Amino acid sequence: MSDTPQVVADERLKRESFGARLMKRPELGAIAGLVVVTAFFMVTADSSMFTLSGIMNFMTPAAQLGILAIGAAMLMIGGEFDLSIGSMVAFAGLIFAACTVTLGLPLILAIPITFMVAAAIGSVNGTIVLKTGLPSFIVTLAFLFILRGASLVGLKIATGGSTQLRGVRDSVESDWLMPIFSGDAFTGLFAWMAETGIIDTFNNGTPKVPGIPVEILWFVGLALLATYVLTRTPQGNWIFAAGGDKVAASNSGVPVRKVKISLFMFAACCGALVAIITVMDAGSTDARRGFMKEFEAIIAAVIGGCLLTGGYGSAIGAFFGAIIFGMVTIGLTYTSFDQDWFQIFLGGMLLVAVLFNNYIRKQVTGER
């Protein structure tokens, strides 16, 4: 008779199939949507859309929106909204341009100043929400108008009456930090691939795609970092707990106040990062920068699996949601469809995403 003890399965532990676990993943809807949209454009769009240059064309706006969407997603998982994130792009662009053009500061000073101003405003947003108990929707809606108006007034003061401040590129062109926030990365690698015939070139031999736009690298890096924080750190557990039930989380020792204010600051800094990148690429800033991007970022986060009630979602879902946006925005130009179909798509995708996320929430919680 063997002395080896037999392992008895605990009947209290529920076993789930792989399919059941997969259905509960928040990013499932975004991945499925990306597959459907890709298939649609592969059938209806010109074949050049999925060449290397075509992919870079739709990934660039997707990356800019995606940086905002990741900030919005983290905040939504924490149970709050920030409707001022689009206006933050305009206001942070003003601060950055004023530092570089008006004050003549180098990027090593202008960039930290821009982030600090954005973080301070995010902290004010979070503090007002937590101190007063007002919905973050209302507080950040007020800051949407405040920041947009401040951008208009500030630009007129800085320029003597204009709503556009030029000369940024000329001011920072020789700065050693510029390649980190503007232009293309891996240009040497792409030049070598062009020489060897791996990628397409123009008649003069230069590659049609000179490199990877740096905003795409920031987008991917930020998505990976946010996913790591949410899934592999205690702070990630705090974010989910604060968004799911802040009272229970507080009673369990979670620093809910610090978590939520930090998320507001992070979302604001995401807006500042987009401002820095786009202002340096364009060489100027204006009062309409980031217009309506707060709504697109929230929609991308919802498509990515974030619940409007908080406590559920993922950064990688927002990543795929933003790619869907970029693909549709640019992809329609490769088809014979009218550009105005984008608005219909926007509303349709939001409705489908909310219904799907609501279904997943009921599957997870057992609610009927």
pLDDT tens digits for range 126-156: 999 999 999 999 999 999 999 999 999 999 9
Estimate to the nearest angstrom the gap between the alpha carbon of 253 and the chain centroid: 30
Query: Using one digit for the tens of pLDDT, what is the confidence trace for 270-319?
Result: 999 999 999 999 999 998 899 889 999 998 998 888 888 888 889 999 99
Q: For the chain, how many helices (H) and strands (E)?
A: 16, 4
pLDDT confidence bin for 223, thresholds 50/70/90: very high
pLDDT confidence bin for 36, thresholds 50/70/90: confident
- Contacts of residue 305, defined as CB under 8 A and 6 or more positions apart, other chains included, come to 25, 26, 27, 28, 29, 30, 312, 313, 314, 317, 357, 360
Tell me how far apart the alpha carbons of residues 287 and 319 are, in angstroms, rounded to a whole number.
27
pLDDT confidence bin for 123, thresholds 50/70/90: very high
Query: Which amino acid is located at 24 in the chain?
Result: K
Query: What is the average per-residue pLDDT within 46-66?
Result: 93
CA atoms within 13 A on the CB side of 69: 35
Q: CB–CB of 139/125 below 8 Å?
A: yes
Tracing tokens 């995401």 back to the chain, one arrives at: 270
Query: Using one digit for the tens of pLDDT, what is the confidence trace for 177-187?
Result: 999 999 999 99
Q: Is the pLDDT of residue 320 over 80?
A: yes
Two tokens at 34?
């990306």
Q: Could you tell me if residue 33 is inside a domain?
A: no
Two tokens at 237?
């557990």
pLDDT at 343: 78
Two tokens at 262?
């930090």
pLDDT confidence bin for 363, thresholds 50/70/90: low
pLDDT at 337: 81
Q: Could you tell me if residue 47 is inside a domain?
A: no
Number of residues that make up the chain: 368
pLDDT at 242: 95
Tell me how far apart the alpha carbons of residues 294 and 368 are, in angstroms, rounded to a whole number.
32
Q: Is the pLDDT of residue 2 over 60?
A: no
Q: Is the pLDDT of residue 41 over 80?
A: yes
β-sheet bridge partners, residue 207: 201
Question: With b meaning 16 or more CB within 10 Å and e meaning fewer, what string describes 251-268?
Answer: eeebebeebbbbbbbbbb
C-alpha dihedral sign at 126, 149, 173, 188:
positive
Tell me how far apart the alpha carbons of residues 361 and 255 are, in angstroms, rounded to a whole number.
25
Q: Could you tell me if residue 95 is inside a domain?
A: yes
256-282 vs 107-132: helix crossing angle, rounded to 10: 140
Q: Is the pLDDT of residue 31 over 70?
A: yes
Tell me how far apart the alpha carbons of residues 55 and 354 are, in angstroms, rounded to a whole number.
28
Tracing tokens 């990515």 back to the chain, one arrives at: 304
Two tokens at 171?
């001011």
Q: Could you tell me if residue 39 is inside a domain?
A: no
C-alpha dihedral sign at 70, 75, 80, 84:
negative
pLDDT at 158: 87
- Contacts of residue 316, defined as CB under 8 A and 6 or more positions apart, other chains included, come to 27, 223, 227, 304
Output the domain CATH number for residue 211: 1.10.3470
Q: Which of 352, 351, 345 is nearest to 330 (CA)?
A: 345
pLDDT at 16: 62
Query: Using one digit for the tens of pLDDT, what is the confidence trace for 263-283?
Result: 999 999 999 999 999 999 999
Q: CB–CB of 66/219 below 8 Å?
A: yes
Q: CB–CB of 191/207 below 8 Å?
A: yes
Query: Using one digit for the tens of pLDDT, what is the confidence trace for 192-205?
Result: 999 998 888 888 88
- Please state, rounded to an integer, the average pLDDT across all residues of the chain: 89
Q: Could you tell me if residue 136 is inside a domain?
A: yes
DSSP string, 230-270: HHHSHHHHHHHHHHH-HHHHHHTT--HHHHHHHHHHHHHHH
Higher pLDDT, 233 or 365: 233
Q: Is the pLDDT of residue 88 over 90?
A: yes
pLDDT at 129: 96
pLDDT at 308: 81
pLDDT at 5: 60
pLDDT confidence bin for 339, thresholds 50/70/90: confident
pLDDT at 49: 92
pLDDT at 107: 96
Q: Is the pLDDT of residue 361 over 80?
A: no
Q: Is the pLDDT of residue 257 over 90?
A: yes
Global pTM? Answer: 0.91
CA angle 94, 98, 104 (to 5 degrees): 155
Q: Could you tell me if residue 34 is inside a domain?
A: no
Tracing tokens 């997707």 back to the chain, one arrives at: 62
pLDDT confidence bin for 23, thresholds 50/70/90: low
**Domain span including residue 124:** 54-181+196-365
Q: Could you tell me if residue 18 is inside a domain?
A: no
CA angle 314, 315, 319 (to 5 degrees): 120
pLDDT at 15: 66
Number of domains in the chain: 1
Q: Could you tell me if residue 46 is inside a domain?
A: no
C-alpha dihedral sign at 303, 307, 308, 314:
negative
